[in-house]
Chains A and B, each alone.
Chain A
Amino acid sequence: MNPALPLWLVPALPLAGFLACGLLGKKLGKSFVTAAGVGSVGLATAVAYARLLPFFSGDHAPVVERIGPWITAGGFSADLAMRLDPLSALMTSFVTFVGFLIHVYSVGYMRHDETEAGYARYFAYLNLFMFSMLTLVLAQNFVLMFVGWEGVGLCSYLLIGHYYERQYAADAGKKAFVVNRIGDFGFLLGMFGLFSLFDSLDFDRVFGSAAADPAKYAPFLTVVCLCLFLGAVGKSAQVPLYVWLPDAMAGPTPVSALIHAATMVTAGVYMVARCNVLFRLAPEAMGVVAVIGAITAIFAGIIAVAQNDIKKVLAYSTVSQLGYMFLACGVGAYVAGMFHVLTHAFFKACLFLGSGSVIHAMGGEQDMRRMGGLKSKLPVTYWTFLIATLAIAGIPPLAGFFSKDAILAGVFEHERYVLWGIALFTAGLTAFYMFRLVSLTFEGSFRGTGEQEHHLHESPPSMTAPLVVLAVLSFTGGWIGLPRVFGEGADRFTAFLSPILLPLASAEEKAEHALSNGTEWLLMAVSVAAAVAGLLLARSWYVRRSGRPAEAIAASFPAAYALVAEKFRVDELYDALVVRPFDWLARMLWKVVDVLIIDGILNAGAFLVELAGDLLRFLQTGNVRNYALTLFLGLVGLLLLVIGFGT
C-alpha cells in the first residue's frame, strides 16, 4: 500500500481539472484547457495505477479509506469513504485508462471545430464526468455511489447537449436526463428499502448482514432488488428505458465513446454486480434481470441491422451488448458479466473513436450510404476498426470472444437454454451488423460527393494513437480470463473477482454447475460458428454483392423492414402512451388548475377588494366640513355608547 497516495486523489484530480477548465478555461485559452483537462485525468490515471498495480499483485484484500463523516441524521450516517476491492479496482483501471485515452483523442477531435468557450466547456464537463464516474465506482456506501450515479447522469445530459444550438441535441439531452431520472427513482426507492432493512447503507454492513441471515431478509429483497435494477435499467439503457441511448449520439463522438459506450452505461452492471449478494437472495429478481437482458440484447441487435447512421448502429450495438452483461448477471455469472464490461469498454471505445475518425474525415457525414472505400484513405482507422469489430463479433482469440463465450457458457451452465439460444442468435446478429457497418464504410467504392472525397484524410496522431492502443487492448484484453479448458488457473480474472462476486456460491455449487471440457469446447465452437456465419453473410451481401440481397429482402417485406428501420416505433409508442398524456396533463394543470382555479381565487379576492374601494372612495369628498361633521357624528355616537353602557 502507498499511504502517500490516498484513493480520494483519484476522483479529486479530475474535479480540480473541472474547476480549472470551467472557471479559467475561457480566459486562458485552448492550450491551458488541454493541459488542465488532459493533465488532470492523466495524473489521476497515474495515481490510480500507482495504487492498482500493487493491489493486483498483492493479496486483493479490500481496502476502505475513510475521509471523514459526511451525513449524520438520527440513526442514519454516511461517511465519505473510498473502497478498493477487486471489483472497484477493475472498474477504476479501465475508467481511468480509457478515459485518459479519450481525453487525448478529444484534443484532436474538438480542437479545430470549437470556440475557446466551447472547448473549455467540453473539457470541464468531461473532467466532471470522470470525477463522478470514479466516485461512483470507488464509493463505500450507496449514498456516495448515488452522488456519482447522479453526477454521471448530469454530465451525460450536459455533453449530449454540447451542440445545444441544434434543437435535436438539446432534445436528446433532455430525453436522456428524464429517462435516467425514472431509473434513479427506482434506485432511490431501493436505497430506502435497504436502509429500512439494514439500518445502514454501508456496503460492508449491508452485504454482511444479508449474508449472515439470508432467511430473515430474503422475502423483502426481491422488491428492493427490482427497485435497484430499475435504476440499472435506466442508466444502462435496457428495455424499456433504452430509448435515450441512441438519441445520445447527438453529442460529440468522443463523448459517445466514453460515456455512452465504455463507462457510464456500464454503471448499472457494476451496481448489480456490486449488490450480487442481495440479488442472489432474490432469485425472482435475478430472473427478471436475465430476461430483460436477453430481450434487450436481441431487440437492439435487430434494430441495429437496419440503421444507416454509423453512430446509431454502434449505439444499438452498445444497448445489445449491455443486455448481454445483464443476462450474465441475471443467471448468476457475474464474473462473465464484468469480464464483458471490461472487454466491451476496450472494443466499443475503439469502435466509437474509429467512427469519430471516419466522421471527422467525412466532414460530419454520418450516413453509411454515402461512405464506402475508406480503407485506403484511412488505413489506421480501418485496421483498428477492423480489430475492434472482430473483437465485438466474438472471433477468437480477440477479447470479445472470451467474454462472450464466458457469458454463453454461464447461461448454458445454469440451464437457461432459451436465453442461451437468444444470446447465441444475438451473437450471430452482432457479427452480421458489425460487418455490414465495416463493409458499407470501408469497402467498395466511395459513394459521397466529390468534395467529400477530396477532403478525406487520416486523422491526426492524437486521434490515431488512442485508436491503436485500444485496438491492441481489444485484441489482447481477453487473455486475462481464458476459459478453464486452457488449464486450471488460466482464468485469472475469475480468481481475482471471486471473493467479491462469488461469496455465496459454495464449492459444491460451482462443481455441480461446472461444464465438462467437451461441452465447453462445443459451446465455443457453436458461438464461433454463429459469429463466423454472421460475418460471412454480411461480407457476401454487402461486399461481393454490394447490398443487393439486403435490398431485395427489404423490398419483399416492406412493412417488416420499415418497422425495424423505424426502431419498432418504440419512440412513437412512448410518445403516444407517456409523453403526450403527460403533456396533456401538464397543460391541464396549467390552463385549468393554475390559471383558472388558483389564479381565479386570487383574482376574485383582489377584485372584491377593488370593488369595495371603488364604492367607498366616494366618501372622500374633499370637503373639510364634511369630515368635521363626520367627526362630530362619530363623537355623538361614542358618547351615546358610553352613556348607554354607563346606565
Chain B
Amino acid sequence: MIGGIPLGDALLASGALFLVGLAGALLRRSAISIFLSIEVMMNAANLALIGYGSALGTREGQIVVFFVIAIAAAEASVGLAIFVALFRHKETIDVNKINLLKW
C-alpha cells in the first residue's frame, strides 16, 4: 500500500511499465532509445519493489530501490560512453547495423 494505492494496482502499473519498456527495447533501432527503454524496465522493477515493500511494511524495498537508482546512474554513464565510442567507429548507433559478432 503506497499512500492508499493497493498493491495490486501498483503491480499492474509496474507490469504495464515493464511491457512498455520491453516493447521499446525490442522494437526501437536507436541504441539510445533501447537504452532508455531498459531504464523504463528497471524503473518498473523499482515500482514493484516499493509496492511490495510498503505492502509488507518493511523498508528494504525502498533501500534496494536506492541502490538500483545509483547503479542505473553509473550504468548510464558507461552505456553512453560506449555509444560515443561506437559512433566514432561506425558513424551510426543503429543496432541493426552493428551486427559484426555473428556466424
Contacts and interface: CB of A to CB of B under 8 A. Distances in A.
Contacts of A629: 26
B102 A625 contact: no
B80 interface: no
A430 B22 CA distance: 107
A623 interface: yes
Interface in A515-530: none
B103 A625 contact: no
A623 B22 contact: no
Contacts of A620: 101-103
Contact of A628 (B25, B98, B103): B25
A584 interface: no
Nearest to A621: B102
A624 B98 contact: yes
A620 B103 CA distance: 6
A624 B102 CA distance: 10
A629 B24 CA distance: 11
A3 interface: no
A632 B95 contact: no
A618 B103 contact: yes
Interface in B15-55: 22, 25-27, 34
Contact of B101 (A622, A625, A632): A622
B75 to A, nearest CB: 16
A618 B98 CA distance: 17
Contacts of A621: 99, 102-103
A617 interface: yes
A617 B103 contact: yes
A150 B96 CA distance: 75
B74 interface: no
Given A617-B103, A618-B103, A623 B26 contact: no
Contacts of A618: 103
A618, A621, A623, A632 interface centre (most CB from chain B within 10 Å)? A623
A622 B100 contact: yes
A260 B59 CA distance: 99
A209 to B, nearest CB: 78
Contacts of B100: 622
B84 to A, nearest CB: 17
Interface in A598-647: 617-618, 620-625, 628-629, 632
Nearest to A635: B22
A430 to B, nearest CB: 84
A617, A621, A624 interface centre (most CB from chain B within 10 Å)? A624
Nearest to B95: A624
A625 B95 contact: yes
Nearest to B28: A625
B26 A628 contact: yes
Interface in B78-103: 95-96, 98-103
A617 B101 CA distance: 11
A85 to B, nearest CB: 82
Nearest to B27: A625
A147 B22 CA distance: 80
A618 B100 CA distance: 13
A643 to B, nearest CB: 14
A639 to B, nearest CB: 12
B2 to A, nearest CB: 25
A628 B26 CA distance: 7
B98 A632 contact: no
Contacts of B96: 623, 625
A622 B99 contact: yes
Contacts of A628: 25-26
Contacts of B103: 617-618, 620-622
A617 B22 CA distance: 26
A623 B25 CA distance: 13
Contacts of A617: 103
Contacts of B95: 623-625
A204 B96 CA distance: 91
A628 B96 CA distance: 13
A632 B26 contact: yes
A152 to B, nearest CB: 66
Contacts of B26: 625, 628-629, 632
Nearest to A629: B26
A628 B37 CA distance: 12
Contacts of B22: 632
A622 B101 CA distance: 5
A276 to B, nearest CB: 81
A630 to B, nearest CB: 11
Interface string A135-151: 00000000000000000
A625 B101 CA distance: 13
A618 B27 CA distance: 22
Nearest to B98: A624
A619 to B, nearest CB: 8
Nearest to A616: B103
A622 B22 CA distance: 19
A628 B35 CA distance: 12
B40 to A, nearest CB: 14
Contact of A622 (B25, B27, B34, B102): B102
Contacts of A624: 34, 95, 98
A624 B103 CA distance: 14
A579 to B, nearest CB: 55
Contacts of B34: 624-625
26 contacts: A617-B103, A618-B103, A620-B101, A620-B102, A621-B99, A621-B102, A621-B103, A622-B99, A622-B100, A622-B101, A622-B102, A622-B103, A623-B95, A623-B99, A623-B102, A624-B34, A624-B98, A625-B25, A625-B26, A625-B27, A625-B34, A625-B95, A625-B96, A629-B26, A632-B22, A632-B26
Given A625-B25, A625-B27, 16 more contacts: A617-B103, A618-B103, A620-B101, A620-B102, A621-B99, A621-B102, A622-B99, A622-B101, A622-B102, A622-B103, A623-B95, A623-B99, A625-B95, A625-B96, A628-B25, A632-B26
Q: Top 9 closest A-B pairs, CB basis?
A: A622-B102, A622-B99, A617-B103, A622-B101, A624-B95, A623-B99, A620-B103, A620-B102, A621-B102
